[in-house]
Amino acid sequence: MTSPLTIDKNWGIETIVSELRVLRDQALANRHRQDRPPKMPSRKALQSIMEGLSAVLFPNRLGSGELSDDGVDYFVGHSLDVALRALYEQLRRECRFHAEQQALFDIDCGHQAAAITRQFAAQLPAIRALLDSDLVAAYEGDPAATGLDEVLVCYPGLTAIIYHRIAHALHRLGASLVARMIAQIAHSLTGIDIHPGAVIGARFFIDHGTGVVIGETAVIGEHVRLYQAVTLGAKRFPKVADGSLLKGNARHPIVEDDVVIYAGATLLGRITIGKGSSIGGNVWLTHSVAPGSTVTQSQVNNEPPTYKPPLNGLSAQLQ
């Protein structure tokens, strides 16, 4: 047996640090930068902020378990103040990051971050109301659920939608980087990947949830239920003249109200799933379907006629 006194604990740290510095310098040179890269928002800080905001929205279940009736408002007020002050700093960092990338040094990032924080905070009651509808949809949609409290503390789909409702509000206010980081925190916690740009109506329920992917321009109506491994993705990625990908175009599905999409289904492109439809498990769907449709793998292979939704449909209502 080797004696502890003879073990070589020279890890070569100085050499590794030197080699890593060379690689960083090369990366900066490749990006035509001579200075240090601007600071980005902190993932660790955003994790703490999301825990705080979740506790603000549901203090008795996601906050302190020892709150008295008289102490709830104090806890919510204090937790909200701490979370918003921390959020302001992360929004200020995002503003500075984008400004330095574009050499825009006359932007008042403090003022911009404060304005976004204030507008976001004003939306929290509406976010709570939406989440209450999601809770009810989950309880009513799953026979295994014994109560709303169980859904709130145990269901990954509910955690994912809490994070999404917050991230989507920030995304709409222009904090795209912070919103995307919050979405990725939710992804790591739940296995559910929802881009903060996705528009999702009330009473939304993701059952089980692992492997669900919802793209940036997806539009989902009210009372929609998804199961695990469902993908609402893009069919193709158009390019602009220089060969780079076209950004921001509508390329993900529109799912109208009262739709159920079962496990493993993949829906691609700017198609419309009509109101009240049911999409079977493992279906691969790249065309629209009329309201009230039931789609299975055998029907998909037969390629039914393409449904053309009205121009004033759901996408216009939810934007």
Q: Domains for the chain: give ranges and CATH numbers.
A: 40-192 (1.10.3130.10), 198-239+249-319 (2.160.10.10)
Is the pLDDT at 178 greater than 60, yes or no?
Answer: yes
Phi-psi region of 269 (alpha: psi -120 to 50; beta: other; left: phi over 0): left
Using a pLDDT cut of 90, give the percent of the chain over it: 75
Question: How does residue 319 score in pLDDT terms, banded at 50, 70 and 90?
Answer: very low
Question: How does residue 240 score in pLDDT terms, banded at 50, 70 and 90?
Answer: confident
Distance CA 285, CA 270 (A): 11
Instruction: For residues 217-227, give the mean pLDDT.
Output: 98
Tens of pLDDT, residues 144-170: 999 999 999 999 999 999 999 999 999
Is the pLDDT at 318 greater than 50, yes or no?
Answer: no
Q: Phi and psi at residue 266, in whole multiples of 5°?
A: -125, 115
Is the pLDDT at 317 greater than 50, yes or no?
Answer: no
Instruction: For residues 254-268, give the mean pLDDT.
Output: 98
pLDDT at position 5, please? 61
CA angle 180–257–270, rounded 5-degree value: 55
pLDDT at position 231, please? 98
Is the pLDDT at 316 greater than 50, yes or no?
Answer: no
Instruction: For residues 66-89, give the mean pLDDT.
Output: 93
Is the pLDDT at 4 greater than 90, yes or no?
Answer: no
Is the pLDDT at 309 greater than 50, yes or no?
Answer: yes
Tens of pLDDT, residues 90-101: 999 999 999 988
Lowest mean pLDDT among 23-32, 155-164, 262-271, 298-307: 298-307
Is the pLDDT at 220 greater than 80, yes or no?
Answer: yes
**pTM across the whole model:** 0.86
pLDDT at position 87, please? 98
Question: How does residue 68 score in pLDDT terms, banded at 50, 70 and 90?
Answer: confident
Q: Higher model confidence: residue 228 or residue 297?
A: 228
Instruction: For residues 6-12, give the mean pLDDT.
Output: 79
pLDDT at position 214, please? 98
Is the pLDDT at 103 greater than 90, yes or no?
Answer: no
Furthest C-alpha separation in the chain: 78
- Cβ–Cβ < 8 Å for 271, 252: no
